[in-house]
Amino acid sequence: MIALWALFWSVCLMRRGPDDVPYSLPLLALAIALSVGLGVVTQFLSGSESLPGMAAVLISPVVDALALWALLAFKRQEPLFVPSLTAVFGADLLLGLFALPLVLASHFVGESPLLPVVVFGQMLLVGWNLGVRGFIYHRSAHIGIVQANVLALTLFVLNIFFVVKLFPELLGPAGPH
């Protein structure tokens, strides 16, 4: 188990890619379950245990998996689908664990001067996650690193778009215009 954590950490540091991740459906299922489970826990800790918040945690993995499958099918790299998706969810899991203290800290700092520091930390983790995803797409689909990072950012925005379209109440009440 320690070897798997070390492997996912190496992926997060962009030292190893999806070609180093074993092709294992049980490992993929475990990575998805743990990553989604951590997302659900994070939603509860952040006070967003509503149905739309939970649905957002479930929509994102589906969109990510479909987009990665389409990309790898287009590039004729289908054998790398399972290792690539495992790398994505393994990295999400580790970076999500780093985000937990920031989620908890956001409750305790309230509107204090420390709030921008917590938000900045969360933004750094989102950027790191996007960079890792771009690296995984780069290595699995054999595309340029800039192209892969643009794809990662596009999928991030696409996930937000789908969630907001399905659950507009997540944006909060619309004020007077």
DSSP letters for the chain? -HHHHHHHHHHHTTSS-GGGS---HHHHHHHHHHHHHHHHHHHHHTT--SHHHHHHHHHHHHHHHHHHHHHHHHTT-GGGHHHHHHHHHHHHHHHHHHHHHHHHHHHHHTTSTTHHHHHHHHHHHHHHHHHHHHHHHHHHHT--HHHHHHHHHHHHHHHHHHHHHH-GGGG------
In the predicted model, what is the mean pLDDT of residues 100-127? 87
pLDDT score, position 104: 86
pLDDT level of residue 175 (50, 70, 90 thresholds): very low
| Least reliable range by pLDDT among 49-58, 91-100, 106-115 | 49-58
Look up the pTM and report it: 0.89
pLDDT level of residue 48 (50, 70, 90 thresholds): low
- pLDDT tens-digit map of 72-87: 999 999 999 999 999 9
